Amino acid sequence: MKVNGKIFAWGFALLLLASLARMGVAMRDMRHARGSGHAVREEGVPPALNAVMMGLGGFRGILAEVLWFRMARLQMQGRYLEITQLADWITRLDPNATEAWVYNAWNLAYNVSAMMRDPADRLRWVANGIILLRNDALAWNPGEPKLFRELAWMYQNKIGSPLDRAHLLYKFSLAAQMAPLLEPNGTVAENLTAAAIADFRALRLDPAFMRELQKRFGPLDWRMPETHALYWSMAGLACAVTDNDALSLRREAYLSLFNACLQNGLFAGDLEAGVWSAAPNPGLADGTEKFLRETIEKFPRDGVSNIYTRFLAHRIRNAPAMDTRVHEWHERLNRLAPSGASAIPLEVLRGAPDMPQELFMR
């Protein structure tokens, strides 16, 4: 008797699926036995996907991989809204998939927002990307340094930089959200009411940690995106295990401090009038330099040395005429000079109309 080809194919597929499900259960049990199993988020999953998840059991990771391949194809086609849905499913299948959280947040804040013509719509999608990392990804993965780093980067790059044509709206939105919770100079008060603490907590901010950063670095203005980038990078630094993670988070922190101290880390505009203005925050200079020195001692890399060099040069140039500390800073600059070189003379550094491109001479 002849066997129908279609029946054979369907039968083989069912046997394969059952085999994969059994393998998945075994793999899940092995992970739990080693203490490396993870929770699975099932609420809000579409019925069809939920049925597949239940059928595959512990083999959900394979399905997540299939969805990753699909996402790659959609990325090539520029179908960003569909990517958002697939990435959400992946995080439901495997909430410990850090790359999926990062990818989805980046896609929302950068790709989907860029598709919107209305600045208010762009703001909404940028906010969605931040909330996804801050509220959801870190809730599932509270000690994952990469998530802290990505969150810090969004504040520094997407909101803090002028690259997006709607960046001023992002800045205004953040400042307006924070201003009612802060002192007139943008700092966090020492004594807060229970209601104020709850407001900070709703934004996933710890006021005690915020005050700790103020004591360490100086009068941080929490209306500014650079300060929030610093917060998340320093929070992540406490979780860093590898040198790569620690250096990556320190880089986000010292770049945020550099920008806040010497460029635009102090709000000086008028929110009610819609006038955005930011000024340097020299009160952060000592804390910033101390952090840079600490970083270069732990990680003597050229990149860190270059940033510290530029920081010292800017600090020397921006110091008041009677500030005698410039000689001390210039001596530190000399110690950073490459072998056989020395820092350009103090009077040249302070007297040039623009920041010299070359800070050392042979």
The tens place of each residue's pLDDT in the chain, 362 residues long, gives 444 555 545 444 444 444 444 444 443 443 334 333 334 444 544 555 455 555 555 555 554 555 545 555 655 655 556 656 666 656 666 778 788 889 888 888 998 888 788 999 899 889 989 999 999 899 989 999 999 999 999 999 999 999 999 999 999 999 999 999 999 999 999 999 999 999 999 999 999 999 999 999 999 999 999 999 999 999 999 999 999 999 999 999 999 999 999 988 999 999 989 899 999 999 999 999 999 999 999 999 999 999 999 999 999 999 998 899 999 999 999 999 998 899 999 999 999 889 999 999 98
Closest CA to 338 of 361, 311, 314: 361
Handedness of CA 158, 159, 161, 165 (dihedral sign): positive
Q: What is the pLDDT of residue 358?
A: 92
- Go through the chain and tell me how many residues it has: 362
Residues 6+ apart with CB under 8 A from 83: 71, 74, 75, 104, 107, 111
3-state DSSP assignment of residue 343? strand
Name the E strands within 128-268: 266-267
| Rounded-to-10 torsion of CA 250, 255, 260, 261 | 90
Give pLDDT, residue 19.
47
pLDDT of amino acid 70: 53
Specify whether the backbone of 335 is left (phi greater than 0), alpha (psi in -120 to 50) or beta: alpha
Give the alpha-carbon dihedral of 257, 260, 266, 272, to 10 degrees: -110
Taking the chain, what is the end-to-end CA distance rounded to the nearest angstrom? 92
pTM check: above 0.85: no
Q: Are 52 and 63 in contact (CB under 8 A)?
A: yes
User: So what's the pLDDT on residue 278?
Assistant: 94
- How many CB atoms lie under 10 A from the CB of residue 251? 19
Q: Given this model, what pLDDT does residue 81 score?
A: 60
Calculate the alpha carbon distances from 360 to 192, 299, 329 in Å: 49, 22, 14
